[in-house]
Amino acid sequence: MLGFYDTLAKTKIEVPLDAATLPPGVNWIDAFRPDAAEAARLRRLLGFAPPSYDQLSEIESSSRLHAAGGRLTLSLPLVYREPSGLARTTPLGFVLGKDRLLTVRFEEIKACDLNRIAAPDGDRLLPGGPGGFLAILGEIVDSLADELEKLTADLDAYSHAIFRQDAAASGERTGRQSRNLRRMLRNLGHVGGVTSRIGETLLGLSRMAPFVTQAGADMLSPEARGKLKSIARDVASLSDYERHLSDKIQFLLDASLGMINVDQNDIFKILTLVSVVGIPPTLIASMYGMNFKDMPELSWTYGYPYGLAVIVLSALIPLAWFKWRGWW
């Protein structure tokens, strides 16, 4: 599907199928999953074919960023969320010229919604291809910043849940607490996956901005270069923040695993205590359970209470020892 837009007027322009040239107001063409017929139409209108999915998915820097024919062909692994909430990356291609911009995408991307493109307060949108390019980049950076803010709020909630003090005070059972921590591990893994995807997008943006500044110097006005530098600074700050979140995620993962190990050690401690305490009574009971003819205690009047008292005492002595040593 092809869309033709004027980002300055924020309007969609209808272009006839048999048109040989583009109207002068079009400075952004959005190609969403272009088929063969649409690719041929773009070749007729622009003089070149749009890059394919395989071309945009290349990971080499020379494949993602190159200049030819007075145009810049750029590729970016952009993070997006599926309807299920799973975070993935999809290639977003730019073919940037002085007069217009072509974007090629294969998933629904909010940054390519004309209604979301707006200039910051006190600023204005720029004309031509660089104007549309900067508007889309600005929306991508804003979306990444919003996503990082949501992840920060989620991590704060997870941190409180991991280190909360009311679990022991409320007598929460160890098994239930371990299950909650295991669920927390899955949540942290999900957040870590989203953060990693955002890091891929930020890395692509950090490489794209200086390349466009250098290779597209002749098509960028001084104002456009200033805005691109501002976007590059925002990307650098978000990259630092993303690394901070990654470190925090790793810390919370280590803390969750440590808490689970502590709970498991408590369980093993209880089992060890029970086994040690049960050994002396078992030994005494088994000794008096032997069927020998000459056992003096069999003829005692108080032999049975004596045996019970010895069994109880043999269990209490290890308990007292553990308590005195602080092992329980």
Give the tens place of pLDDT for each residue, 102-136: 989 898 888 887 777 765 555 677 778 888 888 88
pLDDT of 238: 93
Q: How confident is the model at residue 170, as a pLDDT?
A: 47
Q: Would you kindly state where each structural domain of the chain is located, as residue ranges?
A: 2-264, 266-325
DSSP label at residue 107: S
Report pLDDT digits (tens) over 160-211.
Answer: 887 775 555 444 555 566 677 778 888 888 888 889 999 999 998 999 888 8
Supply 3's token pair: 């869309």
Does residue 218 register a pLDDT over 60? Answer: yes
Confidence of residue 100 (pLDDT cuts 50, 70, 90): confident
Question: What percent of the chain is predicted at pLDDT more than 70?
Answer: 92
* 201, 137 Cβ separation under 8 angstroms: no
Q: Does the domain spanning 266-325 belong to CATH 1.20.1250.20?
A: no
Spatial contact of 32 and 24, defined as CB atoms under 8 Å apart: no
Q: What is the model's pLDDT at position 63?
A: 79
> Over the chain, what is the mean pLDDT?
82
CA distance 249 to 121: 34
Contacts of 185 (CB under 8 A, 6+ apart): 253, 256, 257, 260
- Starting at the edge strand that comes first in sequence, how are the strands of the sheet with 65-68 ordered? 11-12, 2-6, 28-32, 101-105, 87-96, 71-81, 65-68
H or E element at residue 282? helix 222-288
Measure the CA angle with vertex 246, ends 166 and 120; round to 5°.
105
Pairing of β 101-105 and β 28-32 = parallel
